[in-house]
Amino acid sequence: MGWTSFNYTDALHSTLTAEKALDFCKQEFETSGYQIKKFWFQKAQHLQDNNVTYLVVQHPQGFNFIMVVLIAIEKGEIYYKDIPASMGPAEDQCPVDFLSMVPIPKNPSYEMDWFIKVRRHNIRYKKQF
């Protein structure tokens, strides 16, 4: 999976808010019966860092999965990369309670390693806007 991009003028990289990030994620990922059930936004600390969103997404067949979305905005273009937890994303600042909304991996895997890192950070969810 690579990066995807298109024109975007709703925010700059440094001014992207949780609300705008959620609007973007809904536009991109709430298609074909998928639905965002929970959302968390991690603001980029520096221009060279990515903004990161953590999503619990409900599949059209009814099961949930976690997806991490990296977001960068540069020169009127938004770049994003979506990474399911099953691929063991490097970003692991997901609220720990998101894990209770998805099946726990049963076998050693990238996803299980990621779950362990998320639990270790023990970030608590709070409403962001």
Question: How much is the pLDDT for 83?
Answer: 96
> Over the stretch 73-125, which tens digit does the pLDDT of each residue have?
999 999 999 999 999 999 999 999 999 999 999 889 999 999 999 999 999 99
- Stronger pLDDT, 66 or 105, i.e. the higher one: 66
> Over the stretch 12-56, which tens digit does the pLDDT of each residue have?
999 999 999 999 999 999 999 999 999 999 999 998 999 999 999
Of the candidates 55, 79, 62, the residue with the CA atom closest to the CA atom of residue 3: 79
Long-range interactions of 48-52: CB distance < 8 A, separation 24+: 51/13, 51/16, 51/21, 52/91, 52/93
Domain boundaries along the sequence of the chain: 4-121
Instruction: Judge if pTM exceeds 0.75.
Output: yes
Question: Do residues 78 and 18 lie in contact, with contact meaning Cβ atoms separated by under 8 Å?
Answer: no
> Over the stretch 87-96, which tens digit does the pLDDT of each residue have?
999 999 999 9
